């Protein structure tokens, strides 16, 4: 059950960030479900990676959104810089993932907490 709990928690965190950014329509939620399905297999192969799954699902959804819709989530730190860019998930493979501005290295929010910071 640890695997399923990690996947459900990761799904909820990424959905919370999508809702905060007002981009959680049905098609985008399907991208989250696709990632959860893919990462279920990944964690079954490497159970020790369960604590990394939230960051990986966030990155999967971010990549899928970039291909189909554009950058997400946009960086709230550099909003006046004229060059909109997306936040990165850091660490790329590690526990406790955060959304971080790649230009300033400012940690904006934990994955799942964008709404709490006004980011999105």
Residues 39-85: tens digit of each pLDDT? 999 999 999 999 999 999 999 999 999 988 899 999 998 877 678 89
pLDDT value, residue 59: 97
Instruction: List all residues 6 or more positions away from 100 whose beta carbon is below 8 Å from its beta carbon.
Output: 87, 88, 89, 90, 106, 107, 108
pTM of whole model > 0.75? Answer: yes
pLDDT value, residue 83: 80
């Amino acid at each position: 059950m640890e695997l399923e709990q990690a996947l459900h928690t990761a799904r909820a965190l990424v959905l919370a960030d999508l809702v905060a950014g007002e981009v959680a329509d049905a098609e985008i939620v399907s991208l989250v479900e696709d990632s959860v399905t893919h990462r279920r297999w990944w964690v079954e192969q490497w159970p020790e990676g369960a604590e990394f799954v939230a960051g990986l699902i966030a990155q999967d959804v971010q990549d899928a959104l970039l291909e189909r819709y554009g950058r997400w989530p946009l960086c709230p730190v550099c909003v006046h810089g004229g060059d909109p860019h997306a936040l990165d998930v850091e660490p790329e493979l590690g526990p406790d993932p955060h959304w971080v501005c790649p230009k300033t290295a400012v940690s904006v929010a934990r994955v799942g907490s964008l709404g709490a910071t006004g980011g999105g």
